[in-house]
């Protein structure tokens, strides 16, 4: 996505055409301080988010990419492609030509390109993952922390919540310092040049029970990568889940 000129969406989440600007496919907000609008380590202001709704001292991460498989390639639609009336953004690739952004209904793919094996369409994914203070939009005082995301859908960025009870999220990025494709060290707050060399990410989630357990008191502290979450001394059960994922963003090697 990096070499393509961004296109405008009606309701974006940053200055300029952030949602369809692929220069920085992964951005991190490290330990959001609360209340103010979240700002990434690359100074992107995520204006679609209310900073007061984000749980303080948690990470946010934005990911921009295309789907792993095309919606249309070699004259053949993908299995399960629907005739939805909702428009989506696609990356249109044609052999020998400059890539293009196109906003289409899935059922309209590929239109005039139906007989061409040289054309492919890839659905665009632009998302920001974060921890919100509450799970129910109709009751902002319910106090159930929730993993949510801001997602590009049609012409706008809109909120969608995924998992209740996620209390904290911390990320560490594996930095390849010798260009062999393997992480040499993990960093919780990589700078711009370091992020360009990121080849993997460790994701740590702290989950808690939705309701307090009668007679139980959580006196444990929890390690989320390089962060220690102090004991809350409350009645919620908690557990840490961690995983490592590989990143496929471009690596720039200093010459």
Question: What is the pLDDT at residue 238?
Answer: 98
Alpha-carbon span 55 to 173, nearest angstrom = 21
Question: What is the pLDDT at residue 3?
Answer: 63
Alpha-carbon span 180 to 182, nearest angstrom = 6
Look-up of token digits 């010459």: 255
Based on the fold, state whether residues 103 and 173 are members of the same structural domain: no
Q: How many helices (H) and strands (E) does the chain have?
A: 1, 15
Question: What is the pLDDT at residue 73?
Answer: 87
Which letter does DSSP use for residue 15 in this model? S
Based on the fold, state whether residues 172 and 254 are members of the same structural domain: yes
For the chain, the domain total comes to: 2
Residue 222 lies in a domain: yes
Based on the fold, state whether residues 181 and 246 are members of the same structural domain: yes
Question: What is the pLDDT at residue 177?
Answer: 94
Residue 139 lies in a domain: no
Residue 29 lies in a domain: no
Alpha-carbon span 142 to 27, nearest angstrom = 30
The upper half-sphere exposure of residue 199, i.e. CA atoms within 13 Å in the direction of its Cβ, equals 15
Sign of CA dihedral 223, 225, 229, 234: negative
- Domain range holding 85? 69-124
Residue 227 lies in a domain: yes
Cα-Cα end-to-end distance for the chain:
23
Question: What is the pLDDT at residue 197?
Answer: 93
Residue 163 lies in a domain: no
Residue 143 structure tokens: 């106090």
User: Is 19 strand, coil or helix?
Assistant: coil
Based on the fold, state whether residues 172 and 120 are members of the same structural domain: no
Question: What is the pLDDT at residue 253?
Answer: 38
Q: Which residues pair with 142 in a beta bridge?
A: none
Question: What is the pLDDT at residue 182?
Answer: 94
Question: What is the pLDDT at residue 221?
Answer: 98
Cα 84 versus chain centre, distance: 24
Put simply, whether the predicted model's pTM sits higher than 0.85 gets the answer yes
Residue 157 lies in a domain: no
Alpha-carbon span 236 to 118, nearest angstrom = 56
List pLDDT tens digits, range 46-68: 999 999 999 999 999 999 999 99
User: Is 37 strand, coil or helix?
Assistant: coil
**φ/ψ (deg, to 5) at 36:** -75, 160
Based on the fold, state whether residues 244 and 188 are members of the same structural domain: yes
Question: What is the pLDDT at residue 251?
Answer: 43
Residue 255 lies in a domain: yes
Alpha-carbon Rg for the chain in angstroms: 20
Question: What is the pLDDT at residue 252?
Answer: 43
Alpha-carbon span 104 to 123, nearest angstrom = 10
The runs of H, that is alpha helices, within the chain are 192-196
Contact (CB, 8 A) for 202 and 183: no
The last residue of a domain, from among 104, 124, 144: 124
Based on the fold, state whether residues 116 and 182 are members of the same structural domain: no
Residue 154 lies in a domain: no
Alpha-carbon span 209 to 135, nearest angstrom = 13
Residue ranges in the chain whose pLDDT is less than 50: 2, 251-255
């Amino acid at each position: 996505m990096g070499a393509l000129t961004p296109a405008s969406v009606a309701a974006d989440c940053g200055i300029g055409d952030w949602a369809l600007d692929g220069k920085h496919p992964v951005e991190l907000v490290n330990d959001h301080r609360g209340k103010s609008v979240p700002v990434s380590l690359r100074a992107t202001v995520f204006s679609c988010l209310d900073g007061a709704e984000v749980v303080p001292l948690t990470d946010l991460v934005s990911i921009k990419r295309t789907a792993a498989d095309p919606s249309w390639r070699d004259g053949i639609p993908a299995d399960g492609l629907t005739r939805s009336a909702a428009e989506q953004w696609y990356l249109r690739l044609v052999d020998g030509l400059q890539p293009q952004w196109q906003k289409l209904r899935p059922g309209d793919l590929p239109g005039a390109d139906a007989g061409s094996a040289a054309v492919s369409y890839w659905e665009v994914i632009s998302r920001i993952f974060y921890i919100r203070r509450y799970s129910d939009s109709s009751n902002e005082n319910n106090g159930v922390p929730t993993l949510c995301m801001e997602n590009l859908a049609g012409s706008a960025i809109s909120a969608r919540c995924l998992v209740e009870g996620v209390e904290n999220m911390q990320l560490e990025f594996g930095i390849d310092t010798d260009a062999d494709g393997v992480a040499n060290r993990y960093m919780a707050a990589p700078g711009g040049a370091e992020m360009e060399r990121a080849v993997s990410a460790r994701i740590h989630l702290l989950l808690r029970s939705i309701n307090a357990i009668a007679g139980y008191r959580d006196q444990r502290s929890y390690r989320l990568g390089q962060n220690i979450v102090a004991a809350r001394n409350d009645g919620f059960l908690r557990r840490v889940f961690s995983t490592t994922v590989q990143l496929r963003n471009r690596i720039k090697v200093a010459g």
